[in-house]
Amino acid sequence: MRVNGDDRYAIWDAAYVLGSLSAADRGEFETHLTQCPACRQAIDDVAGIPALLAEFDFRTSAAINESRHPSAKPPASPQLPSVLGVTRGRRNRSRLTAWTAVAASVFLAVAVLLGIHGYFAYSSPPKMTASNLPMSQVGTTLLTSRVWVTPERWGTLITMRSDCLAPLDAPHDRLAMVVVGRDGRQTQLGTWVAEPGHTATPTGSVATPATEIAAVQIVAADSGKVLLERSL
């Protein structure tokens, strides 16, 4: 505790508020907070910083991008006085230094992200969205499912929501998610156990582009029998 001369926790408040402590350190610090009013007050002092960072939006990004022009004046930040007010009057120099370092890192990350946004506002391809599609029953009437096919830069993300309609005392069958490429190649992405009366949400990914996928299937993992299918 600070009052006993242990300054180890004196620089943890900012990291705690920003969520950058490890799970073990976070638990240790929360235990310490129950015994240290000074640290609790320090948390209150910086608790508003995440909300201030969240106020950065596309208009802020545009203002920053405009400031890069030689003739443009640097945009004034309405959040700056509030941020400065948090640190004003702090007596613990080491703690202030640590907070400044953490805050600087966060603002640098925000600036980089805003810079990336400013770049991709002109050069990024259209945003890709998931297709939410029902699957057809092929080899069973005891399963229903919908499939979400999401194109990604690296391939395709596939998520299913599968309901098992079998009687509650029915066997628990092992199922598999399979992708069929337009070249006929089959790729198994994962398996799960169908529990009667329950919903499964298996997810898998494949390097194959969504445009090269002919169908998505749910098959019996042991026999390969096609149970549900969705053609794309």
pLDDT in tens, 23-74: 778 778 778 877 888 887 777 676 556 555 545 544 555 555 555 555 545 5
Mean residue pLDDT of the chain comes to: 74
* Enclosing H/E stretch for 111: helix 93-123
Q: How many domains does the chain have?
A: 2
Same domain, 138 and 118: no
Same domain, 9 and 94: yes
Residue type, 145: S
Q: Is 35 exposed, middle or buried (0-12, 13-18, 19+ CB in 10 A)?
A: exposed
Same domain, 16 and 65: yes
CA angle 215, 217, 222 (to 5 degrees): 140
Same domain, 208 and 117: no
Q: What is the pLDDT of residue 50?
A: 54
Q: What is the CATH number of the domain that holds 85?
A: 1.10.10.1320
Same domain, 114 and 172: no
Q: List the domain range (segments joined by +) for residue 218.
A: 131-231
pTM above 0.75, yes or no: no
Q: Among 92, 123, 154, which residue terminates a domain? A: 123
Cα separation, 88 vs 79, in Å, equals 15
Cα separation, 178 vs 229, in Å, equals 9
**20 pLDDT above the threshold of 50:** yes
Q: What is the CATH number of the domain that holds 205?
A: 2.60.40
Q: What is the pLDDT of residue 107?
A: 58
- Tokens representing 155 are 């391939």
Same domain, 9 and 97: yes
Q: What is the pLDDT of residue 38?
A: 83
The pLDDT confidence band at residue 78, using thresholds 50, 70 and 90, is low
* Enclosing H/E stretch for 38: helix 37-46
Angle, in degrees to the nearest 10, between helices 93-123 and 80-87: 160
Spatial contact of 202 and 160, defined as CB atoms under 8 Å apart? yes
